Amino acid sequence: MREARIRPAAISHNVEVLKAIAKTPHMLIVVKANGYGHGAETAARAALEGGADWLGTADLDEALELRAAGITSPILAWLFGPQDDLAEAYEQGIDLGVSSRAQLERVAAIAAKNAPARIHLKLDTGLGRNGVDPSEWDAFFSAVQQAQKAARVQVIGIFTHLSGASLEADAEQGREFDSGVARAHEYGIVPEIRHVASSIGTSDSPALAHDMVRVGAAAYGVPVTARYREAGLIPAMRVSGQVILTKRVTAGRGVGYGHTYRTERDTTLALIPLGYADGIPRHGSSAGPVAINGEKFVVSGRVSMDQLSVDVGDSPVTEGQWAVLWGDPAEGDPSANDWAEASGTIAYEIVTRLGARVPRVVAP
């Protein structure tokens, strides 16, 4: 009675489009957060089919799940804590993003002699999250140099992440990154791959593409920039629920908790079994778009934990029909961006917050 239809072919198509835009030797597709809600293994295989040669995850468990599924491509994971066991990631050939001397020491400690751990050095160039602050670069690069000489680490990449505050801010981060790369070279650290740009940077800051881009949302057909809206990206997720009840009510009837919506006339209400427990934003109450039989409606009243109501007026909506919350606008569906705007958030959150109670159905 509820489902998220996932189209791997759309992801493959989007990756092909993105490769043409980026024009970089390498393309990393980010499949963290269960493949942005699409299913990690499904997304990973589709991305590789589309021409990606790297995959990225946030944490180690996500990366190891891909290895367990038989995926052998290079995988970069960049978030781990002091209690995480790095040994299995090392044994499985997972590249690790290293953001501090302490992390470097932990990674070097688990590497066998003459079998160095594969690492990417994360520099903080202005986002203020993980990554080595410029004030610590000399001490950090010196430690990396020693770990290299001891054959404990192999520096595959060096990277940073853009704030997206403005094009000028991103350009300034790019200059800071170049400075960091030059400083690393002074210590004999010459990574194979420099990577800076994610989805938005790939679109709007092409000078920062370097050797590889790390694309997330755009690979799933979420057009996060104006350029992408013209590029022919295809949304890979369509979220829908069956109408499980219709009933005729009179004018003035309150609908949902708090009666934030009241019917203005005699009308039909349609009940759809999707709610905030499924990841449908409660902030989309009385605002989120819904399509039934190709006709557009709006959520009527508050989104509940398990269900939402739609006032369909006199339209011939019947039980068993499917109501689409977001999908491909080219097919007449609302988009994830539409839901984001209605809920005061971003489309990234709309697709990634979709709950496990909504089955992912892989479709052509």
Report yes or no on 18 lying in a domain. Answer: yes
Same domain, 283 and 310: yes
Count up the domains in the chain and report the number: 2
CA distance 121 to 192: 12
Query: Does 260 lie in the same domain as 214?
Result: no
Final residue belonging to a domain, choices 188, 220, 252: 220
- The predicted-structure confidence for 248-289, as pLDDT tens digits, reads as follows 999 999 999 999 999 999 999 999 999 999 999 999 999 999
For residue range 177-199, list pLDDT tens digits in order: 999 999 999 999 999 999 999 99
**In a shared domain, residues 151 and 257:** no
For 136, the token pair is: 């610590």
Q: Using CA atoms, how far apart are residues 196 and 215, in angstroms rounded to an integer?
A: 10
CATH at 69? 3.20.20.10
For 137, 211, 340, 357, the CA distances from 288, given in Å and listed in that order, are 47, 40, 9, 20
In this structure, are 186 and 256 located in the same domain? no
Read off the CATH number of the domain in which 247 is found.
2.40.37.10
Q: Has residue 225 been placed in a domain?
A: no
- Of the listed 19, 32, 122, 228, which one is catalytic? 32
pLDDT for res 81: 93
- 1, part of any domain: no
Shared domain check, 156 and 105: yes
In a domain, 251, yes or no: yes
Q: Which of 220, 247, 276 is the last residue of a domain?
A: 220
**Is it the case that residue 12 has pLDDT exceeding 90?**
yes
Among 213, 228, 221, smallest CA distance to 10 is for 221
Q: Which of 149, 247, 257, 296 is labelled catalytic?
A: 257
Task: For residue 176, tell me if it sits in a domain.
Answer: yes
Rounded to the nearest integer, the mean pLDDT of the chain is: 97
Query: Are 231 and 13 contacting, i.e. CB atoms less than 8 angstroms apart?
Result: no
Q: Where are the alpha helices (DSSP H) in the chain?
A: 8-22, 32-36, 40-49, 60-68, 87-91, 101-110, 137-149, 167-186, 199-204, 226-229, 336-343, 347-352
> What tokens appear for 120 in the block?
């990417």
What's this model's pTM, rounded to 2 decimal places?
0.96
Same domain, 273 and 169: no
For residue 2, give both structure tokens.
């509820």
Residue bearing tokens 């039909």? 268
Residues 171 and 283 in one domain: no
Q: Is 296 among the catalytic positions?
A: no
Active site residue 32: yes
2 is a domain residue? no
Provide the residue range defining the domain that includes 186.
8-220
CA dist., res. 233 & res. 337, Å (int): 13
For the beta carbon of residue 145, count every other beta carbon within 10 angstroms.
16
